[in-house]
A and B are shown apart, each in its own frame.
Chain A
Amino acid sequence: MSWRIGLSTILIGLLPALAGAEEISFRNDVMAVLSKAGCNAGACHGNKSGKAGFKLSLRGQDPDVDYLTLTRDTFARRTNPLEPDQSLILLKPTTAIAHEGGMRFARESQEYQILRSWIAAGTPPDSAATPRLASIAVSPAEQILVDPQKSTQIRVTATFSDGVQKDVSTLAVYEQATDLAKISHSGLVSRDRMGETTVVVRFLGMQQPVRLAFLPARPTFVWSNSRPANFIDEQIFAKLKSYRINPSKPCSDSEFVRRAYLDLLGILPTAQEAKSFVTDQSPDKRGRLVDELLNRPEFADFWALKWADLLRLEERALDKKGVTAFHRWIRQSIAENKPLDQFVREMIAARGSTYTNPAANFYRANREPVIRSEAIAQLFLGTRLQCAQCHNHPFDRWTQDDYYSWAAVFSRIDYKILENRRRDTNDKHEFIGEQVVYESREGSVKDPRTGKPSPARLLGTADTNFPDDQSRLDHLAAWLTSAENPLFAKSQANRIWFNLMGRGIVDPIDDFRATNPPSHPALLDALAKDFVDHGFDVRNLIRLIMNSQAYALSSEPNDTNLDDEINYSHILPRRLTAEQLLDAQHQVAGVPTNFNGYPEGIRASQVPGVQSERRRGPKNSAADRFLTIFGRPQRLLTCECERSGETTMNQAFALISGPEISQLLRSEENRLTSLLSSNQLPDQIITELYWTALSRPPASIELSESVKYLAESKEKRKALEDIAWALMNAKEFVLRK
């Protein structure tokens, strides 16, 4: 065994950072090793039920408990000061004895050395004088690596409460959300493929992001010299230029008009509307179109739908009357361009009858303190708190204290249920009848760790002073929507941006945190500032974005931006939403939609709420089933993620031969019938159909082939159905490009 001792001695000599056993701190050194080796990861011993009878706190959030676990449990076999090398905590991770988690570090490693020294010293606890980690700094925080440069070394410096600084690059944990690069044990990042990535560096309880971009050299790159239309373009083009990426060409008028209608109204321009826009020669026509669309009633319909998803307008909780009233309130707020802060304030502070004060339906749908607090954080602060319910948030600053104190803010909302004629007496989620939302004087949220009520505290602040003479909800609403609350303006500007550009500057849009940095931080700040400066005027912000060059780029990539997905160098085509697609199909067919319980002709994006389908009673219509297949949300959660933009096999079946499309094509009252009986020539018919479906004229080959198809067919009607089918199944139709 003597060689072992020799090796250890040599190793200690090689590791000047660890001068001697007596200096090993449990909290600062041992805990770092447990994280570095992955012992306390969620999939391993950090799991809520541990692994193989050994449980550590998740990612080392609770050193005191871990200290006891390592030194006291299992008859102290995990750490054996008399024979340190026989400690389970050394034998297992080196696989000297079998370990399900495999080899975590070698006997020769720094990790082994730290643990061994601490054990050999008798597993000392930290004293009150042991310095605590004060901060960590990473270098570089941001770097662009242009080929042939393929790698960069991350340096992590920890600063402790006594002012001592240490290089902890070999003990920090490195994680990235993509597979763009490999990261070595000691923080050397090496490119696997081109693109951008964020490496999250973690040491003890602290984290810092490192943003890296790996770019091809492009020696012949010439900046396209695209001219910015406003500050949005200045920011976007500046980044593109520094990344040697050229934006795509501007989109065509046909593409622009289609985009603008779909984004603002959720419908297609009619053939006439598209034609007159495209043939209009005036230079300011795009801006004018945006202004015009913002004032159309369909704008209020379509943007109300977005809020209706998030505010959970469904009939089981709100009942049909409530859904109708709440929807009308949302729609009306948008129609009159109510400032967004006011809209949110009215809802957050809402009390009273859910019939006469429809905004109170927000609380009718969200009936538990933690449901309300999570929903409001996610919707209005862009913050996901869910992780912090059971443990401190692993990627964010939120602790369990924060979680329960924020939930406590919502603990005094209560309901006077004036009437409940629920049809299903077993269903405690169903309410039919009037309710009054009110603030009670009582009510608290228990912190499950202590069993005691948590003090109410506004998220991310020290503010526990809720004035006695004022409603808590008024206080909350004022703070939440204040221009000084940076997360409110940013998260709302980012949401509007996302709805138009297809990707949030922070993405996902409800996940703001240091470790998920924005792609364009200065742009997001500027948008938020502009939004605040203009009194949270939603239309103004929409106008600003839609008047930018960035909004109006083509989706067709060039040689430099083919791989770019996050810098807005070109538009990424995305599937129409369920409602857009259904309404577009009906529009092309010229056939009204039919939803059970609503007047014929109501568009999918006008339907106020999700109906609850019952076992006995009217079945949902074919239109409803279509919307479900294409990912319309059930509105049971406050999350953008409940709506699915995925493509599936069932969607292909629905578009190819589903009941909706079959019925639309066959209908006697559809556009095909009127076109065929209109005495128009075949090429006129085809041209009209193309404008109707695709907002553009047919290309010459499309025209000639379609006319030929029509001419050669024995049954004109069927041939025209085929052409209409092809138009409604074209990628160009199903995707917004």
Chain B
Amino acid sequence: MKHSFACSSFHQASALTRRHVLKVGGLGLLGLTMNQLWAAEAKSKNQKTKMPAARAKSVIFLYQFGGPSHIDMFDMKPDAPEGIRSPHKPIQSNVPGIHVSERLPRVAKIMDKVTLIRSMHHTMKNHNSASYYALSGHEPPLDDIRLKDTLNLFPAYGSVVSRLAPSEGEMPTFVSYPYVIRDGSVTPGQHASFLGKVHDPFLFTQDPNSPNFGLPELSLPVDLPVERLEARRELQKMIDQQSRLLDYSAAAQGLDDYYQRALAMLNSTRMRDAFNISAEPEWLRDAYGRTTYGQSCLLARRLVEAGTKFVTVYFSDSIGGQSTTAGGWDTHGFNNTRMYPIVEKFHLPMTDQTLPTLLSDLDARGLLDTTLVVWMGEFGRTPKINANISRDHWPQCYTTLLAGGGVKRGFVYGESDKTGAYPTKDPVRPDDLAATMFYLLGIDPATEVPGLGNRPVAMSEGKPVMGVLA
């Protein structure tokens, strides 16, 4: 199917200015939430553009920090020589011809729900640069182990969604948790950057697996019951009335809109309910896994049900790779550790428990068709097993997994060569994957918004991978 959308002139596109939006928000549309105002703005910006029809309502982005090994999970090369092929054996999945690692037996049973892209590639060898690429869909200016998180870098996907196609209703558009990831310094690509703080994710670092999981934003300090807060608000209103600022100042009106929303949230049911993970039956919580990652994925489903459009779950706070109890996928074998015992004990079983549960749960609830699940890391790992019987960074070829939200089921896109070293068919860059996500969400990937210094920048330079669409 050929998609078609017109290039809209940038100056036409920026027709409704932010100040204007705030003004409108304050003066006339008191009933509207900021989300809706941004939506109105986005709509007016794109009135000249034919947007693709949205197939996905939401995205759950499961970020596998550290870089999982494609060749040991989803792109097994049993015929490659020893020293390259995985010590694990491939097993047949429930889709004829698609094999996965024997260490992922439950994943093997849900391959009929997913598309694998086995031809992902780029050239960034450092975690922060590669992760920024994976989290924003834009190639970083340099391959830098401590890439600086500056405002001229591109925003996280969820922030783009918040800007161009926000959630309707009271749920935040973009939620990310349970970590801010860093490798030596904070990894760029986790916030709204030049789109502005209003498009930052609703971010929390509390552990959804903790028995007393709750968000301070959604609960008041013990000495501040709702009645007391209401009394305070009345006193505040009295002073605001004296200054008359709310009658004429856009800044005052904008600020008060946020007070209303924040207070509504503190009082609200929908938001609090969505985060109330303890409402889930015990057996389902067990099925997801009683881990931070497992419960985070369960929470992602709840958020999507409540109307959040983009949920980013970080598998770990760090690149890890040296522990069987925490951390990411960066298994070099440093400090006399070894990759296989670690991933066998930690990463693979956790993935095998949580990922199939999430996809099956979404599917059973009829949510998978409208929810795109993306499972990916910043790169794959070297085809050649190193001196530590482990694998190093390999951005030249790796696999991502997509499910639902309008992508094919039981499908493999792209191919790698016989050692999993380079794509041999249909190569896909992170730019294209980003464009695919936006396209599925009904956002023209080429939409331009003012970047830092008002230079118009396209939200994606990639092309949607039309071959993965159902």
> Are A and B genuine complex partners?
yes
Chain A interface (Cβ < 8 Å from any Cβ of B): 38, 41-44, 47, 49, 51, 98, 100-102, 175-179, 384, 386-387, 424, 426-430, 508, 511, 555-557, 562, 565, 572-575, 615, 631, 634, 636-637, 639, 641-642, 644, 646-653, 656-657, 662, 666, 694, 699, 701-702, 705-706, 709, 718, 722-723, 725-727, 729-732, 734-735, 737
Are B453 and A41 touching (Cβ within 8 A)? no
A43 and B146 contact, Cβ closer than 8 Å, known pairs A644-B196, A732-B243: no
> What are the residues of chain B within 8 A of A634 when measuring CB–CB?
149-151
Are A662 and B221 touching (Cβ within 8 A)? yes
Query: 14 A-B Cβ contacts within 8 A?
Result: A42-B456, A43-B458, A102-B6, A384-B453, A430-B146, A572-B251, A634-B149, A636-B148, A636-B150, A656-B229, A657-B220, A709-B235, A726-B239, A730-B236
CA distance A430 to B20 in the complex (A): 42
Instruction: Return the chain A residue nearest B444 by Cβ.
Output: A43
**Interface positions of B from 118 to 165, Cβ below 8 Å from A:** 144-146, 148-152
Does B423 lie at the interface of the complex (its beta carbon under 8 Å from any beta carbon of A)?
no
CA distance A652 to B264 in the complex (A): 12
CA distance A429 to B7 in the complex (A): 39
> What are the residues of chain B within 8 A of A731 when measuring CB–CB?
239-240, 243, 245-246, 249, 252, 255-256
Are A730 and B458 touching (Cβ within 8 A)? no
Are A657 and B198 touching (Cβ within 8 A)? no
A649 and B258 contact, Cβ closer than 8 Å, known pairs A722-B232, A722-B235: yes
Are B240 and A730 touching (Cβ within 8 A)? yes
Category for how many chain B residues contact A: 35 or more
**Nearest Cβ in chain A — how far from B230, in angstroms?**
10
> What are the residues of chain A within 8 A of B216 when measuring CB–CB?
657
Does B2 lie at the interface of the complex (its beta carbon under 8 Å from any beta carbon of A)?
yes
CA distance A636 to B146 in the complex (A): 13
A657 and B224 contact, Cβ closer than 8 Å, known pairs A43-B10, A426-B145, A429-B148: yes
Are B245 and A573 touching (Cβ within 8 A)? yes
Does B262 lie at the interface of the complex (its beta carbon under 8 Å from any beta carbon of A)?
yes
Are B458 and A641 touching (Cβ within 8 A)? no
Are B9 and A43 touching (Cβ within 8 A)? yes
> What are the residues of chain B within 8 A of A709 when measuring CB–CB?
231, 235
CA distance A631 to B246 in the complex (A): 23
Does B365 lie at the interface of the complex (its beta carbon under 8 Å from any beta carbon of A)?
no
**Nearest Cβ in chain B — how far from A637, in angstroms?**
6
Name the one of A43, A642, A649, A734 contacting B262, with C-beta atoms under 8 angstroms. A649
A43 and B456 contact, Cβ closer than 8 Å, known pairs A644-B196, A731-B249: yes
**Interface positions of B from 172 to 197, Cβ below 8 Å from A:** 172, 182, 184-185, 196-197
Does B352 lie at the interface of the complex (its beta carbon under 8 Å from any beta carbon of A)?
no
**Interface positions of B from 1 to 47, Cβ below 8 Å from A:** 2, 4-11, 14-17, 19-20, 34
Are A648 and B221 touching (Cβ within 8 A)? no
Are B258 and A648 touching (Cβ within 8 A)? yes
Are A429 and B245 touching (Cβ within 8 A)? no
> What are the residues of chain B within 8 A of A384 when measuring CB–CB?
453
CA distance A659 to B235 in the complex (A): 21
Name the one of B7, B20, B150, B249 contacting A43, with C-beta atoms under 8 angstroms. B7
Mask of B444-458 contacts with A, CB within 8 angstroms, 1/0: 001010001111101
Additional pairs, 11, CB under 8 Å, beyond known A175-B9, A657-B229: A43-B9, A386-B453, A427-B146, A555-B248, A641-B453, A648-B258, A649-B34, A666-B223, A729-B232, A732-B240, A734-B255
> What are the residues of chain B within 8 A of A729 when measuring CB–CB?
232, 236, 259
A575 and B150 contact, Cβ closer than 8 Å, known pairs A38-B7, A706-B235: no
> What are the residues of chain A within 8 A of B454 when measuring CB–CB?
508, 511
CA distance A428 to B446 in the complex (A): 34
Are B453 and A725 touching (Cβ within 8 A)? no
Are A44 and B248 touching (Cβ within 8 A)? no
**Nearest Cβ in chain A — how far from B202, in angstroms?**
8
Instruction: Return the chain A residue nearest B244 by Cβ.
Output: A556
> What are the residues of chain A within 8 A of B19 when measuring CB–CB?
565
CA distance A723 to B448 in the complex (A): 47
Name the one of A387, A653, A723 contacting B455, with C-beta atoms under 8 angstroms. A387
> What are the residues of chain B within 8 A of A565 when measuring CB–CB?
19
> What are the residues of chain A within 8 A of B256 when measuring CB–CB?
731
Are B231 and A722 touching (Cβ within 8 A)? yes
CA distance A175 to B150 in the complex (A): 30
**Nearest Cβ in chain B — how far from A447, in angstroms?**
19
Does B254 lie at the interface of the complex (its beta carbon under 8 Å from any beta carbon of A)?
yes
Are B453 and A642 touching (Cβ within 8 A)? no
**Interface positions of B from 452 to 470, Cβ below 8 Å from A:** 452-456, 458, 461
**Nearest Cβ in chain B — how far from A104, in angstroms?**
9
Does B336 lie at the interface of the complex (its beta carbon under 8 Å from any beta carbon of A)?
no
A644, A650, A662 — most chain B CB neighbours (10 Å): A650
A649, A651, A706, A722 — most chain B CB neighbours (10 Å): A649
Are B185 and A427 touching (Cβ within 8 A)? yes
CA distance A642 to B15 in the complex (A): 24
Are A656 and B262 touching (Cβ within 8 A)? yes
Are A177 and B14 touching (Cβ within 8 A)? yes
**Nearest Cβ in chain A — how far from B442, in angstroms?**
17
Are B258 and A651 touching (Cβ within 8 A)? yes
**Nearest Cβ in chain B — how far from A140, in angstroms?**
20
> What are the residues of chain B within 8 A of A727 when measuring CB–CB?
239
Does B273 lie at the interface of the complex (its beta carbon under 8 Å from any beta carbon of A)?
no
Name the one of B2, B17, B150, B263 contacting A637, with C-beta atoms under 8 angstroms. B150
CA distance A651 to B262 in the complex (A): 10
CA distance A451 to B378 in the complex (A): 33
Instruction: Return the chain A residue nearest B20 by Cβ.
Output: A179
Are B16 and A179 touching (Cβ within 8 A)? yes
**Nearest Cβ in chain B — how far from A428, in angstroms?**
7
**Nearest Cβ in chain B — how far from A682, in angstroms?**
15
Name the one of A636, A652, A666 contacting B261, with C-beta atoms under 8 angstroms. A652
Are B196 and A646 touching (Cβ within 8 A)? yes
> What are the residues of chain B within 8 A of A428 when measuring CB–CB?
144-146
> What are the residues of chain B within 8 A of A639 when measuring CB–CB?
151, 452-453
Name the one of A100, A701, A734 contacting B7, with C-beta atoms under 8 angstroms. A100
Are B4 and A98 touching (Cβ within 8 A)? yes
Name the one of A555, A657, A662, A718 contacting B249, with C-beta atoms under 8 angstroms. A555
Mask of B252-276 contacts with A, CB within 8 angstroms, 1/0: 1011101101110010000000000
Are B245 and A41 touching (Cβ within 8 A)? no
Are B146 and A656 touching (Cβ within 8 A)? no
Does B72 lie at the interface of the complex (its beta carbon under 8 Å from any beta carbon of A)?
no
**Nearest Cβ in chain B — how far from A56, in angstroms?**
12
Instruction: Return the chain A residue nearest B241 by Cβ.
Output: A701
CA distance A222 to B145 in the complex (A): 65
Instruction: Return the chain B residue nearest A641 by Cβ.
Output: B452
CA distance A49 to B458 in the complex (A): 12
Task: Return the 10 tightest CB-CB contacts between A and B, nearest first.
Answer: A726-B235, A102-B6, A652-B258, A179-B15, A44-B7, A652-B262, A730-B239, A427-B146, A732-B243, A175-B11
CA distance A642 to B193 in the complex (A): 10
Does B286 lie at the interface of the complex (its beta carbon under 8 Å from any beta carbon of A)?
no
**Nearest Cβ in chain A — how far from B242, in angstroms?**
5
CA distance A634 to B20 in the complex (A): 28
> What are the residues of chain B within 8 A of A644 when measuring CB–CB?
196-197
Instruction: Return the chain B residue nearest A43 by Cβ.
Output: B7
Instruction: Return the chain B residue nearest A428 by Cβ.
Output: B146
Are B9 and A637 touching (Cβ within 8 A)? no
> What are the residues of chain B within 8 A of A651 when measuring CB–CB?
258
CA distance A562 to B196 in the complex (A): 27
> What are the residues of chain A within 8 A of B455 when measuring CB–CB?
386-387
CA distance A729 to B224 in the complex (A): 15
CA distance A729 to B149 in the complex (A): 32
CA distance A252 to B240 in the complex (A): 17
> What are the residues of chain A within 8 A of B252 when measuring CB–CB?
573, 731, 735
A737 and B6 contact, Cβ closer than 8 Å, known pairs A176-B11, A179-B16: no
A42 and B150 contact, Cβ closer than 8 Å, known pairs A573-B249, A737-B249: no
Name the one of A430, A511, A575, A694 contacting B453, with C-beta atoms under 8 angstroms. A511
Instruction: Return the chain A residue nearest B183 by Cβ.
Output: A426
**Interface positions of B from 282 to 309, Cβ below 8 Å from A:** none
